[in-house]
Each structure stands twice: as C-alpha cells, then as structure tokens.
Amino acid sequence: MSGHRLPRGGFIDRSRRLAFRFDGKVLEGHPGDTLASALIANGVTLVGRSFKYHRPRGILTAGPEEPNALVELGEEGRTEPNTKATEVELFDGLVARSQNRWPSLAFDLGAVNGLAGKMISAGFYYKTFMWPAAFWEKVYEPLIRRAAGLGRATYAPDPDVYEAMNDHCDVLVVGGGPAGFATARAAGSAGARVILCERESLLGGGLLLDPALEGWRSDMIAALEAIPEVTILKRTNVFGYYDHNCLGAVEKLSDGPLGEGEIRQRYHVIRPKQVVLATGATERLIAFPDNDRPGVMMAGAALVYLRRFGVAPGRRAVVFTNNDSAYAAARALKDAGLERVAVVDARGKGQEAGGLDVRLACEVMGFDGRRVALHRRGGGGNAEAIEADLLCVSGGWNPNVDLASQSGAKTAWGAELACPIPGVPVQAERSAGAARGVFGIGAAARDGLAAGREAARLAGFPTDADFPLPKDDPPALALVPLWEVRGRGKSFVDLQHDVTTDDIRLAHREGFSHIEHAKRYTTHNMATDQGKIGGLVGAAILAEARGERPEAVGLPTFRPYTAPVAFGAFAGRATGDRFEPIRRTALHDWHVGHDAVMQRAGAWMRPFYYPKAGEDAWTAILREARMVRSGVGVCDVSTLGKIDLQGPDAVVFLDRLYANTMSTLPVGRARYGLMLREDGIVFDDGTVTRLGPEHFLVTTTTGEAEAVLEHMEFHAQTVWPELDLQFCSVTDEWAQMSVAGPRSRDTLTKAVAGLALSNASFPFVAAGEGTIGEVPVRLFRISFSGELAYEVAAPSGFAEQIWEAILRAGREFGIAPYGLEAMDVLRIEKGHPAGQELGGFTTAADLGLGRLVKKSGDFVGRILAGRPALIDPRRPRLTGIRPVDKAQRLRGGAHLVAEPGSLDSLGHVTSVTRSVELEQWIGLALLEEAESWRDKRVWAVSPLHEERVEVVVTSPCFVDPENARVRA
C-alpha cells in the first residue's frame, strides 16, 4: 500500500473528486485519472490474478500493453470484461471488478496451481487431458475454462448506442505525440485534409511527461485546431490497416453514463490517400525470476504516473535498465520525493548519475515485493538486496510496428535498438518518430515534419511548411540487449497468459521451434495485450535456444486488431429492426390498416393473411383460398421482380437467356419463362411479356429479382457486349395486383376502361393496357392459382386508388384481399414450383418442365444441363402426395420411403398445405422413379419427429389438370 497521490503535478483536477467502486470498495480519484492511476493513488497494489497460476498481479503499465490490470466494467447489459484499467478514464460512479479470482482477489483458491507450477507447463493441457477423448468436451474443457479463462461476457443486450462512419482524407496521422503533431501541422498547413487520431484523451504523447515542453504542446494544439481541414479525433485507436489503404478505428466517446441520444463509441472506416504512422514505441520487459510480482512496473509507466497523473507508484524504488530512457523515470521518482531511488544498469557505463544511486554492470535476479535481489553481471561479486516496494524495469523500446506490418510491409531489424522496425512500405504509408526508431522529442518532431511534408506532397499538396520544433536531446548511450536474467523461479515473458522463459525452451525441446509454432504451443503473445511488452523477449529466448540471433527467429505476424474492439461499435446503429433494410410495397399502409398479419419475407414486409374478428390463422387462410376458388380475391404481388427490356437485340438476348423460346412471342402476349444457371440447374422462373416489337417486360420471382438483374447485366456487359439492348428494374415503378377467381373478369370489366376483357378479345396469356380512373394500367391474363386470373399493374404512386377501385368493383362478387399464405395454398394445389422446389438443385425435367426446353439454339445452361448426372432418368421428379388417411397432416422436409422402417430415401417433401379443393393435407415432393410410383403408396417419414404418414403418390396438379379454368 505504498502508491500515493503527489501534492502537485499532472493533468488532473484536484479540486474535484470522483467516487468509484473497485471490488465493492468505494474509492476516490480526480477528473483526469485513469482507473489505474486512481487505484495506485489509493494504494491498491493487487489488481488481479494471473491466468494459469493465479499469481497476484499489480499494475505494470500505463497503456494498452497492460497484461495484469484487467477488470470487468459496468453491470448487466453494459458489462465489459477484460478492460484494461490503464485505458479506462475515471468517472463518478464507475464500477469495476477484478477478474479471474475465486472466491476473492486476496484469497484465491486457484493459486494452488502456482505450487504445482512445475507440472502445468506449456502444452500441459494438450498432453494431460487427452484421454479419454470423450472427456474433453464435457469434463476437461469446462473445468479448464472455469479455472483459467478471463472475464465473463454478458448475455444481456447492450443498451447503448454506437455509430459507424466513413472518413476520407489526404493524410491520416496515427498518433498525437510530437511526431504526429508535426506531421499533421505540416500537411494541414499545406492545405491537405488531415485526420489525426490519438488513442488517449489528452494530446501530446511523450510531451505530457516533461513540463518544459508544455508550451510547445499547447502551441501545436492551438495551431492544429486553427486549420479548418485538420480533424482531431481523441480517444481514437486505429486498430487495423487493410488493403486499398483502408484503416479501421474506434473512437471512445464515453465510458461513463450517457445522456439522451449520446453515443458510446464510434467506429470509423478511414480511406486516406497517405498514412503517417506516428504510433510511438512500447517499452519491453526483461525476464528475471518473479518479474510479475505486484510492485514491478515498466519504468516508462512510472514516469507516466508521476508526470501525467501526479501519482507516485511506491516509496522506495529500484530502476532496472539496459538503456538511458529509464534515467528520466529515476530522476522523476527522486524529484517526487521518494525515500530512495537506486538505478541498476546492466551496462558497464551509465548516464550522468545526477545524484542517483547507480549500480553499473549489475542485474536484478529476484523481487518479493519488499526486497530487490541483484548481483553483478557475469556472476562475480556478492549478491545484494535493496529494500524497495517498486521495481521499475526497462529492457528498451520497441517501435509500435503493428499497423505498418499489417499494411503488408515486412518488418526490418533495427540492430541498434535490438528490435523490429517498419520495413519498406507496400501501401501509401510511412512511419515517423519513435514508431520507426527515431527517439527523443526533438528528433521525433523533426522526423514528423519531414514525413508530413512528404505525405502532403504525395497527396498533391507540395509544401515547405516549417515551424519551431523542440530542441534535440543529447545523444544517448547505446543500449545493451538484455533479454533474461536466469535464476530460480518463474521468469515471465507473457504475463497475461502466464508463459515463462522455461515454457519457451520447452517448446523448442519438444520440436515447436518455429516462432509461429512456439506461439501456439505456449500461447505466448496470444492474450489481449498481444505480447506488446514481452513478445520480443520470448522470441529472443527462443532464438537463444535455437542458437540463433533474434532477428533470425522474428516475431509472429501482426494482425488486426491492435486492441480489442466492442462488437457494438462495428454494428453501429444496425441492430434489431435496423439490422437490414426493410422493403415495403406501395400497399403496405393499406395492409396494416386492414389488420393484415405482416411478416418479413426476405427484405419485404408482406401480408400473410387478413384475419377477421375471431379467426385463427388457418381459418383465415382457408377462407381466403376458398374465396379465390369460388369467387374472386385480390392479392398484392408487387414484390415480383420486374425488368423493362428494350432494344433491337432484346429478343436475341431473351432467347439466349431463357431455356424456352421467346422470339416467337407475339406483341400483346405473355409467356412463362425458365432460366437456367450456367451449370444447367434451374435458376428462376417468371414471365416475359412482349409490349412492343423491341420492348419486353420480364418478371422474376420475388426472391431472385436482384440475382436475375445481375445475371442479365453480366451477360449484357461481358458475354454479349455486341448486342444493342437496354434494361432496368421497374419493380418499384409498378404495383402489381393479382385478381383471381371465376368472378375476376366480371370485377375487372367493371373497373377497367379502354380494354375489352372478353375471352375472345383478351384470352389466356394476353397482355394489354387500359385505365382505371385516369390512371394507365397494364393487364396480364396469367394465373398462379389455376383459376381465371389477371394481374393488374399500376404506377405504384397510384396503388392504393387502384386497389380500392378493384375492391369496389368486386364487392358485389364478394371480393376480399388474400395473403401470401392463401397464395401458397393455391399454387401448391395447382402444382406450380416455387422457392422450395427451385432451390438451386433441380433441373427443368425434375420439375416436369422438360418439354419447355428448346431443342435447337444455344442458351445459358444448355451444355451443362446435358451432364450425365443431370439427365439421369432416376433423378427425383416433382410429384404430388396426399395422406391415405384424410385426417393426417404432412410435414415439409419429410423423407419418402417405400416401407415405414426403410433407411433408403426415395426423395423428400418440398411443400405442404391444407387443400381447400380436397379438404385434406396435400404436398409436393421430389421422388425417384416418380412415374412408376404414381397412384401407389409410399411413406412420408420424419424420424426427428417420430412421424410416419402413408401417402398416395399423385400428379403434382391437384386442381383442374386440363387447365380449363384459366382459359375460361
């Protein structure tokens, strides 16, 4: 309990207090704090238990690389597990819980794993829980998951609002430190559109750690804010770099309570012309025994807590380093008034001590939270123990190359820094400042200025922009690579997944020597921090075991995301009812106003049936179907795909697209049409109407309307570009109404003017134009129900008037609207194939439509339709079935078998309904040897439902097989 708030300093507002809860305990912090800084200020040292050994862990870092301080935030639908306390801005009322401890953080039963740690090495699970195999899923895995596992996801819906948006700019700058500032200002002052993304709530990066630089920081912010085409996005992490210079980012607008209409997070898809990655660097760990104890902290993080948050993370500190950067932390600790600050420098020569207690050529070999054990490198001299509650570590700095690597640029090896640096760009990107190994505020800013000029020039804004930059730091002494201090005890390379140096060596001994194999065998780098602090250390230890240099081993591939992203952010507003577009016909409001039961069918909202008071679904559906068979009904069929096709070569085009002939179709007539896919399977069916010599209307099924249009576009643009034809969708232009039943002619004769509808003048499949009121309409005498029927098409802006005019005209004949369900009853009775039969697996012959297919002339699908398997006479063919026992029902999907217990399926049931014609259940099915089974009995079985129904095989057409009614 040695962390404490300093009396002054930092970017926090000491005049205001924020109360928050951590594991039920109420604590206080200030605006400007993160959860981590507030916990340290409250003296909290233990924040979590480790993944495998349940070792106690404290806050190690001050950023997204944090492996230990993972907390569960919020409650119920707002629960967010695995949140890094270092990334959470404190707000009043914040509730956070530590994770992976049971029953409590301080007393954790799982810690016994640590005692048995010798047994639970890398690959332990794979080796131990292998047998018996059946136990894995039911016994071992749930046990392991409960014992290991991170936080718990919630099942409750997320109540918050997210937004997704698209951004475009000339130059995207990732990172708002000195390099990013200079880049953005150079490009912005050149006139380029600039977006600057900064992960944190405060701009400045390393500038926030030196009070002397505050003037330059605020000047730069003011300068950037004064340029209209510079957009600054704070709290915005760029998480992925994709092809075509497209990047993804998430802007965290608020972790706290939201006001009405406020947004939690905003997902940005950014398409810049040029990208400058000024993403800085991350300090790396050194492996030594017990380097995971609470009280161990990265040296740079200690500096952040002191300077940015006014918090001292301990009272007596040892700083263990192999490079110069940690001296700044040591000096800051001393300035903050710590009782003691000792520097343990592994190098033979250190920086000017400036009153610091420096031990050169020494290394830390253990820490128990109270004492740091050290000895001289190479083992000479006596071991020494220094009392300390804070052990700061710096193993050097790795440029944050994640995004550069994701962009496709292979990383190079920076020998001086002993780590990967960005490689030669393959997309329009460059790195600047610490992100490419240029360290020091002044040098990074200068590098950013150059990068900004270059990016602006390439984006079309040449510039020699210049402005004052901070002075360069004095030259630093060389870093001496130091990966591991070997000793007794666990030395961690991946704290979040509890991977030790011994695990890496074990992986090598067992043959997993490739970095990608070692990663998967040990789970090194696979935690939510993605090995940001220890990844390279593990690789170096693997290299040593292989007897090679670290650069020969390399790092595993960098992949998105650089940090976890909430699914809600990706979804944006597209959740619930707004998940996908809803299409409404022009008669939608009429249906709703007349109590239709509306349902989604694909994108469309469609009326399924129109129940009268007291009617259940089947009663209404059967009433509507009977009405069509005996009188007249009207149905909204506007959803049918409609394509207007014109041009001198339109008729040639149709002959090639359809399996049947269209060129013989006279003007003023419609014809059923069958389209095949290139592979010979039926694609879609519909009608073609010849409106004029070179003018056709093509209709498609509702479900395939877009696909047919695309099919036509493909063939017109790429296969037969020499043809002169033009087409476009008119699905939305025409509202279409099916008027069906023996009294349909009587109805329309009353309603339609300008078109004689007698059987002689307007026979079956005739098409013509007339008016209803003053509205021009098209009539098609086609039938899906098997009754005398017409389809009336009207410009959809007049749909309601036309619909109501038809209802008025038919009132004396008992007209009423019928829905999709009654339409299905009618078409199954008539044996018309629909979606269930045209499911992408049937041929024309399977559907009984083989006679339509033309014998001469080429068409799409002709060649492959002749494949042996597609012309096999044993293929299942469309047939009708009805239960022998009229009281029994049928089930779609049931298999047809010869005997009730047979396991040899002869086919399956595709569509079922209750026939109004037969007063019993009927079905359509695809049945092998259908002709020889005709009028015989088979069994429709559904073993899942323990159902077996004896059925008679019939013609698929249950109604008027001579087609007399449609021609009446």
Residues in contact with other proteins by CB under 8 A are 163-168, 193, 261-263, 269, 271, 572-574, 578, 580-586, 604, 638, 644, 646-648, 723-724, 726-735, 750, 773-776, 795-798, 801, 805, 808-809, 811-812
Shortest spacing between CB 217 and other proteins, in angstroms: 28
Shortest spacing between CB 805 and other proteins, in angstroms: 6
Closest to 89 (Cα-Cα) out of 255, 208, 237: 255
Shortest spacing between CB 233 and other proteins, in angstroms: 13
Nearer to other proteins, 197 or 444 (CB): 197
**DSSP assignment of 842-865, as one string?**
--TTTTT-GGGS-SSS--TTHHHH
Separation between Cα atoms, residue 404 and residue 555, nearest integer Å: 14
Who contacts 452 (Cβ-Cβ below 8 Å, separation ≥6)?
Answer: 171, 173, 182, 183, 184, 185, 186, 187, 276, 432, 465
Strand-strand pairing, 340-345 and 316-321:
parallel
Shortest spacing between CB 264 and other proteins, in angstroms: 13
Shortest spacing between CB 261 and other proteins, in angstroms: 5
Shortest spacing between CB 677 and other proteins, in angstroms: 24
Strand-strand pairing, 48-49 and 194-197:
unpaired
Token pair listed for 363: 């290394």
Q: How far is CA 381 from CA 183, 374, 384, 475, in A?
A: 50, 10, 9, 32
Nearer to other proteins, 605 or 675 (CB): 605
Shortest spacing between CB 854 and other proteins, in angstroms: 26
- How far is CA 509 from its chain centroid? 39
Nearer to other proteins, 231 or 942 (CB): 231
Quick check: 913 and 925 in contact, CB under 8 A? Answer: no
Shortest spacing between CB 739 and other proteins, in angstroms: 15
**Burial of 654 (C-beta count, 10 Å sphere; 0-12/13-18/19+):** buried
Shortest spacing between CB 229 and other proteins, in angstroms: 9
Token pair listed for 25: 């305990």
- Helix H or strand E encompassing 232: strand 230-233
Token pair listed for 937: 């009995």
Quick check: 357 and 341 in contact, CB under 8 A? Answer: yes
Q: At what angle do helices 744-751 and 799-810 cross, to 10 degrees?
A: 120
Nearer to other proteins, 37 or 796 (CB): 796
Nearer to other proteins, 606 or 623 (CB): 606
Rg from Cα positions in the chain: 38
Nearer to other proteins, 774 or 904 (CB): 774
**Burial of 41 (C-beta count, 10 Å sphere; 0-12/13-18/19+):** buried
Nearer to other proteins, 802 or 924 (CB): 802
- How far is CA 312 from its chain centroid? 41
Quick check: 58 and 47 in contact, CB under 8 A? Answer: yes
Nearer to other proteins, 228 or 614 (CB): 228
Nearer to other proteins, 252 or 532 (CB): 252
Nearer to other proteins, 634 or 852 (CB): 634
Nearer to other proteins, 539 or 651 (CB): 651
Instruction: Quickly count: other Cβ atoms within 10 Å of residue 891's Cβ.
Output: 16
Separation between Cα atoms, residue 243 and residue 262, nearest integer Å: 32
Shortest spacing between CB 827 and other proteins, in angstroms: 23
Shortest spacing between CB 704 and other proteins, in angstroms: 16
Q: At what angle do helices 535-546 and 501-509 cross, to 10 degrees?
A: 40
- How far is CA 16 from its chain centroid? 40
Who contacts 18 (Cβ-Cβ below 8 Å, separation ≥6)?
Answer: 28, 29, 30, 31, 33, 38, 90, 91, 92, 94
Nearer to other proteins, 62 or 807 (CB): 807
Nearer to other proteins, 78 or 271 (CB): 271
Nearer to other proteins, 132 or 581 (CB): 581
Torsion of CA 439, 440, 443, 448, to 10 degrees: 70
Closest to 264 (Cα-Cα) out of 614, 639, 4, 570: 570
- 14 SS3 class: coil
Shortest spacing between CB 670 and other proteins, in angstroms: 19
Nearer to other proteins, 648 or 943 (CB): 648
Shortest spacing between CB 835 and other proteins, in angstroms: 20
Quick check: 786 and 829 in contact, CB under 8 A? Answer: yes
**Burial of 260 (C-beta count, 10 Å sphere; 0-12/13-18/19+):** exposed
- The torsion region of residue 571 among left (phi > 0), alpha (psi -120 to 50) and beta comes to alpha
Nearer to other proteins, 722 or 904 (CB): 722
Nearer to other proteins, 734 or 762 (CB): 734
The b-or-e profile of 758-784 (16+ CB within 10 A means b, else e) is eeeebebbbbbebebeeeebbbbbbbb
Separation between Cα atoms, residue 583 and residue 593, nearest integer Å: 17
Strand-strand pairing, 265-277 and 246-252:
antiparallel
**DSSP assignment of 668-730, as one string?**
TBEEEEEEE-TTSSEEEEEEEEEEETTEEEEEE-STTHHHHHHHHHHIIIII-TTS--EEEE-
Nearer to other proteins, 644 or 679 (CB): 644
Amino acid at 241: Y
Residue with tokens 């708002």: 176
